[in-house]
Amino acid sequence: MLGRRQTAVQRQLRRAGLAGYEPMTQATLLSIMQHAPRRAAFFDVGAHIGLYSAMISAVYARNGVRTYAFEPTPDTARICRAVRKYNGLDYTVVETALSAEAGVAALYLSDKTESSNSLNPRFRAHTQEVVVPMTTLDAFALETGVDPYLMKIDVETQEPQVIRGALEIIARARPWIVCEILPEVDSENLTELLTRLTDLGYAFRQLTPELPWTLCRGVQDLQQLSRLLGRDWLLAPEQLTGEFFATVRGWLAAIAECDETTNRLIAGGDPLPVGWNSPYPAGRPFARLAQRRVAAQRSVLGWLRR
């Protein structure tokens, strides 16, 4: 898994495969991009080792998807680049933090797990920090000329700051947004920004196991539910259809088959293979996922027609 010291995400994938790591978030991202136009852009904010960036890039390579993996932690960004290299993928790793303003910032390295690193010093106990560059999504879009079709934001309580720094592209491009909302988030800041998104026509749905997801009727409803039921939300710029939920069901069925039984087993003492911990040839880490989705999708569509 690209190094002796594995990250939390690598350990989870090794134990349980794709099926054991945020399957609903995977299915949601894959479903949105399945209906995206050619050359659509995906912004993976808080990419970690690049699981979602790699997945979207691999599955939708023929559609010319443009993927940008934003990851400020130097060691984790290095693994993200290695995943790209060893699997022959084409996504851009942007080693910077994102917030409401550009400059530099202290990134606090969690003592528990690197997946909890944050610009928020109060989020997790830490004994180390590193200074990292920081920019906004609005500034990045202006510099590159790329507006996102889909954004995934998972930055350990700093989601409101990222959204604030992206209000121009949100108003202009109206991207789909999959966003983590933790109880420790600044609720006053979050309320203001979600109210602005509501004014732009966005609706909020929590990514629960039950489909279709319940439509949130207001910002206060969203905040209360996020504390009780979970943390991942879809901020949707348009109404969700039965076809969309059928696509999600198809991807969930395909992801469920990519469990620990599909992982490559390595004998004790043997070196870890390059590329993903899977039985697939280098460069095709999600081949079986894509193939099984087609079969699963047909099954779901047949069920819906009954």
Burial of 145 (C-beta count, 10 Å sphere; 0-12/13-18/19+): exposed
The interaxial angle of helices 51-59 and 23-34, nearest 10 deg, is 40
In this predicted model, what pLDDT tens digit does every residue of 152-202 receive, in sequence order?
Answer: 999 988 889 999 999 999 999 999 999 988 877 877 888 888 889 999 999
2 falls within a domain: no
Where residue 224 sits, what CATH number does that domain have? 3.40.50.150
**What span, in angstroms and rounded, lies between the C-alpha atoms of 207 and 186?**
21
What pLDDT score was predicted for residue 97?
Answer: 94
**Predicted pLDDT of residue 118:** 78
To 10 degrees, the CA torsion angle through 71, 77, 181, 150?
60
User: Do the domain assignments include residue 3?
Assistant: no
Element spanning 76, H or E = helix 74-86
* Residue 32 within any structural domain of the chain: yes
User: Higher confidence at residue 273 or residue 66?
Assistant: 66
Instruction: Please report whether residue 1 resides in a domain.
Output: no
- State the average pLDDT over residues 283-289: 53
Give the span between the Cα atoms of 203 and 226, in whole angstroms: 15
Summarised one tens digit per residue, pLDDT across range 97-137 is: 999 999 999 888 887 877 778 777 777 877 888 899 999 99
Q: Which letter does DSSP use for residue 114 in this model?
A: G
What confidence score (pLDDT) does residue 220 get? 65
Measured distance CA(107)–CA(100) in Å, rounded: 15
Q: DSSP states of 164-204 as a string?
A: HTTHHHHHHH--EEEEE--TTS-HHHHHHHHHHHHHTT-EE
Q: Is residue 297 part of a domain?
A: yes
Portion of the chain with pLDDT greater than 90, in percent: 51
Residue 213: burial class (beta carbons within 10 Å; 0-12, 13-18, 19+): buried
- Residue 69's beta-bridge partner residues? 44, 93
Q: Which of 126-135, 236-245, 280-289 has the lowest mean pLDDT?
A: 280-289
Does any domain span residue 232?
A: yes
Residue 293, pLDDT > 70, answer: no
Determine which of 5-9, 82-86, 128-132 has the lowest per-residue pLDDT on average.
Answer: 5-9
Kindly report the pTM of this predicted structure: 0.84
The total of structural domains in the chain comes to: 1
The boundaries of the domain holding residue 197 are 8-305
**pLDDT value for 270:** 58
- What DSSP letter does each residue of 249-285 carry, written as one string? HHHHHHHHHSSGGGSPP--TTPPPPSS-SSSSPTT-T
- Residues β-bridged to residue 66: 41
- Return mean pLDDT, the chain: 82
Report whether pLDDT(19) > 50.
yes
